[in-house]
Structure 1
Amino acid sequence: MNLTTLTERRKRGDLVTTFQSLSNSQSPIHHLFTLSTDQRIWGHRFKLAKGQFITTVRQFFIINRVFHDWNSLPQEIVDSQSTASFKVR
């Protein structure tokens, strides 16, 4: 039936939520994402910094789930003008 799996839908939803929170500073979860300050990074300018957590409680939190997928996106997708164009790309 060509339906997307739950894993793919969750990944897409996490990426959309990350895009919305990084593009809108008024987002209630904007403060959770830390941008990388390393000047030697390749790719887009919104690379996320990997957080250091002492406990495993936050292991499956959105920041950890989306880290690798978000940082591997091409610049033209991250630089989308709206959420709708981000979803299409």
Structure 2
Amino acid sequence: MELLEQVQRRAMKMIRGLEHLSYEDRLRELGLFSLKKRRLWGDLIAAFQYLKGAYKKSGEGLFTRACSDRTRGNGLKLKEGRFRLDIWKNFFTVRVVRHWNRLPREAVDAPSLEVLKAMLDGALGNLV
């Protein structure tokens, strides 16, 4: 567990009236996400911007689309790389691909960033 997550856990214990709840239940009660989920939320938003062309020069070749006509779910599936070292799992492109491929078609084809954010709130709200 990261240091920042520990600080957030400690701060959540100080809120009166929620002492009897677990950390996850306190987050749900306050309408907040854990730090891990917030990082994923930000990563998915950044991936959306890269894929929609917001960062044309710096994002060129960042993601590779999966070439398959049999895609279920969204039509913009990304290819997952295979690496031998554990260090790679912390890279942005590796962290995002699996979660991006699980998003529904409506989220991937969202016309704007605000629509995507609303859909991500709903999709990530089910996770703890």
RMSD of the TM alignment (CA)? 1.7
Residue 70 of structure 2 corresponds to residue 40 of structure 1: yes
- Separation in 2, partners of 1:30, 1:81: 21
Counting matched residue pairs gives 89
Q: Which residue in 1 is equivalent to 2:97?
A: 67
Of 16, 29, 33, the residue aligned with 1:4 is 33
Equivalent residue letter for 2:72:
W
- Structure 2 residues without counterparts, runs of 5 or longer: 1-29, 120-128
Q: Which residue in 2 is equivalent to 1:21?
A: 50
Give yes or no for contact 1:44–1:75 (8 Å, CA) kept in 2. yes
* TM-score, normalised by the number of residues in structure 1: 0.86
Q: Displacement of 1:54 after TM fit?
A: 4.5
Give yes or no for contact 2:80–2:98 (8 Å, CA) kept in 1. no
Looking at secondary structure, tell me which structure has more helix per residue: 2
Q: Which residue in 2 is equivalent to 1:51?
A: 81
Q: Secondary structure at the match of 2:87?
A: coil
- Separation in 1, partners of 2:36, 2:51: 22
Give yes or no for contact 1:36–1:48 (8 Å, CA) kept in 2. yes
Equivalent residue letter for 1:49:
K
Question: Which one scores higher on RCO, CA 8 angstroms, separation ≥ 6?
Answer: 1
Sequence identity (%): 35
Equivalent residue letter for 1:17:
A
- Structure 1 residues without counterparts, runs of 5 or longer: none
Equivalent residue letter for 1:64:
V
Give yes or no for contact 2:76–2:108 (8 Å, CA) kept in 1. yes
Equivalent residue letter for 2:39:
R
